[in-house]
Amino acid sequence: MAAKAINIPEAQLLESEEQYEAGKVFLQEKKYKEAIKMFTKSLSLNKTNYDALFYRAVSALDSGQPQSAITDLNELIEQCSDYRKTMFIILSIAFRRVNDYTGAQRVLSKALIKYPRYVEAYIARG
């Protein structure tokens, strides 16, 4: 686990995970503002909690804050480019919501370079 490698105390990791889990509940309930707060608290305790960063971006996008989602997803791609393929699709959606179609195409092209058989990215790019 990357967090242990950077010497985060076990209690802090547990608190980060609790905040993350609370954020997921709020996200499921479509309480986006609360979800974003919980994911942010989780990240403040453990900067390598990539799940919290991903779901904070999803919460931001779902709450009508695509620019925040773009910022978080770009950070996630920079820090952990192998996190999960869907982050590229979600980032392309965020770019489209701010009418940056070139940015959306660019991120989908990056996804296809990294994952040449990623059918969903081909469909989204089309």
pLDDT at 114 over 80: yes
Q: Provide the residue type at 93 as one letter.
A: I
pLDDT at 3 over 90: no
Tell me, what DSSP letter sits at residue 83? Answer: S
Instruction: Specify the CATH number for the domain of residue 61.
Output: 1.25.40.10
Where does the chain have alpha helices with state H? 2-5, 10-28, 32-45, 50-62, 66-79, 86-97, 101-114, 119-125
pLDDT at 5 over 80: no
pLDDT at 44 over 60: yes
pLDDT digits (tens, 9 = 90+) for 71-111: 999 999 999 989 999 999 999 999 999 999 999 999 999 99
4 domain-assigned: no
Q: Provide the residue type at 59 as one letter.
A: S
Q: Rounded distance, CA 14 to CA 18, Å? A: 6
Query: Which residues constitute the domain of residue 48?
Result: 9-125
Q: What is the pTM of this model?
A: 0.91
